Amino acid sequence: GAVVSQHPSRVICKSGTSVKIECRSLDFQATTMFWYRQFPKQSLMLMATSNEGSKATYEQGVEKDKFLINHASLTLSTLTVTSAHPEDSSFYICSAGRREISETQYFGPGTRLLVL
Amino acid sequence: EDQVTQSPEALRLQEGESSSLNCSYTVSGLRGLFWYRQDPGKGPEFLFTLYSAGEEKEKERLKATLTKKESFLHITAPKPEDSATYLCAVQANDYKLSFGAGTTVTVRA
């Protein structure tokens, strides 16, 4: 299998607080992990790419100081939304890539963030 | 810049009514073309990877094909449980995925 988990699945927070989302590959070691954002009825937009032990690479227009990514091990990556605002409310999805299968990305179940 | 266009945007089918979804793409250095299924409020579920023109893959009622410019996802005799949004994505040499907007399929019993 290729199972990826995310925690929490849903979070509601007040404006100005920080929120951490965890992404874990449960049954394989991920070469690379990716973070996406999805707005209602829209497709996935890549935010950043992270490799274990190195700094994340952010897509154009994504604020690296606002969306902090840590990739501590081959099975765990975290996304911290700092000083969250209502416009950060969205569906955040991570994926983990398996290089032995041509870097096929397996996705987590997503985290619904609502900032009040 | 990589571009992925999916059509139609939405597809309503009667149970048993076969149809095809289209994914046209432009990419410099295609490593693979991926099809995913996404149910509402959930992450995408991997279906297929196609690597070269002429390749075909099947899984239950789904069959994916690839040419140099487009891919098709054929749904044969669909059931209501096949209702979902189907996403196409291309992977370039940097291993990143560029997604299309998706086709939302609704299968009525």
Give yes or no for a contact between B98 and B92, defined as CB atoms under 8 angstroms apart: yes
Contact flag A107-B36 (C-beta cutoff 8 Å): yes
Q: What pLDDT was estimated at residue B73?
A: 98
Contact flag A46-B101 (C-beta cutoff 8 Å): no
- Calculate the CA A53 to chain-centre distance: 16
Give the containing element (helix H, strand E) for B9. Answer: none
Question: B39 forms bridges with which residues in the sheet?
Answer: none
Facing B102 at nearest CB: one of A32, A43, A109 = A43
For chain B, what percent of residues have pLDDT higher than 90?
88
Tokens 């890549």 locate to A46
Best of A105, A113, A114 to mutate (most B CBs within 10 Å, chain B): A105
Q: What pLDDT was estimated at residue B95?
A: 82
Confidence of residue A101 (pLDDT cuts 50, 70, 90): low
Contact flag B44-A93 (C-beta cutoff 8 Å): yes
Residue A93 has pLDDT above 90, yes or no: yes
Cis peptide before B8 (omega within 30 of 0): yes
B95 at the A interface (CB within 8 A)? yes
Confidence of residue A54 (pLDDT cuts 50, 70, 90): confident
How far is the C-alpha of A105 from the C-alpha of A75, rounded, in Å?
A: 14
- Chain B residues within an 8 Å CB radius of A43: 87, 99-102
pLDDT (mean) for A60-78: 93
Contact flag A110-B97 (C-beta cutoff 8 Å): no
- Count CB-CB contacts under 10 A for residue B102: 25
Tokens 């959930």 locate to B42
Give the containing element (helix H, strand E) for A112. Answer: strand A111-115
Contact flag B43-A4 (C-beta cutoff 8 Å): yes
Contact flag B99-A108 (C-beta cutoff 8 Å): no
Of A40, A44, A87, the closest CA to residue A63 belongs to: A87
For residue range A13-31, list pLDDT tens digits in order.
999 999 999 999 999 888 7
User: In chain A, which residues touch B (CB < 8 A)?
Assistant: 2, 4, 6, 32, 34, 42-44, 46, 49, 91, 93, 95, 97, 101-110, 112
Best of B42, B55, B86, B94 to mutate (most A CBs within 10 Å, chain A): B42
Task: Please give, one letter per residue, the 3-state secondary structure of A4-53.
Answer: EEEECCEEEECCCCCEEEEEEECCCCCCEEEEEEECCCCCCEEEEEEECC
